[in-house]
Structure 1
Amino acid sequence: MPLSEYEQRVLEQMERQLTSDDPKLVSTLRGGRSSLRRWLLTGFGALVGLGMLVVGTAASIPVVGILGFVLMFVLVVLAFTPPRRSGPVGTVQPDGGVRRPAPGQKGKGKGRGFLERLEERWERRRDEGR
């Protein structure tokens, strides 16, 4: 049974509200399909690597065993590392609003050192407390 126009408008409004309230949750939920595919591909590849390791060991061919181990190890590490994001979605403000980064600010902070960024955050937090 299809939704009425009113229900579709309400659903779209709820989706926009959720997107503005919690962009991290939305990005997590949208990544579900690709993460399942990622798990399946890395799991299958790790099984292939395990098979190569067993065959290389049983046939006394060390190169095949080593390649199987390396393949299995790399794919297991790949499976457990989170996928890289293209950039920040937004910053949640203290009042609950979301501030989107300006187009030129996407790579902001990449050239600075870790300590400089920590120092800047510390100063910002100290100023907000006043």
Structure 2
Amino acid sequence: MALSEREQRVLRDLEQQLHEDDPGLASSIEQVGSTMGRPSPRHVGAGVALVLTGLAVVIGGVAVGRGLVSMLIGVVGFSLAVWGVTLMLTRTQVSPAEGAQPGGRKGSDFMERQSERWERRREDNR
């Protein structure tokens, strides 16, 4: 959902105030934001597969019966599921050279066009 003009102005004012009050913090925040990327579709797919495999192993451990073997199988299944979740939550690192490419601007242009279309539709429906 796009921000209104007022919200964008308030956000710009807050950013400017942060740069004035604590330039070191502002630059470190910008650096972290520029190096963090999106979740990789490959990581998400592998994570989902590991979670499902882990759940299947846990169910298999319950089906084996009671005892030490069943508990070990359950622990292995749970570990696989946790590994899958952590894999899904990892983000790819973007090098500073990649973040400076004009291709990084493409996504914001798309969002600006979508925002403009949304505003035109809202005005047309009034």
TM-score > 0.5, shorter chain as reference? no
Query: Shorter-normalised TM-score: what interval?
Result: 0.3 to 0.5
Relative to the length of structure 1, the TM-score reads: 0.39
Give the structure with the higher percent helix. 2
Bigger relative CO (Cα 8 Å, ≥ 6 apart): 2
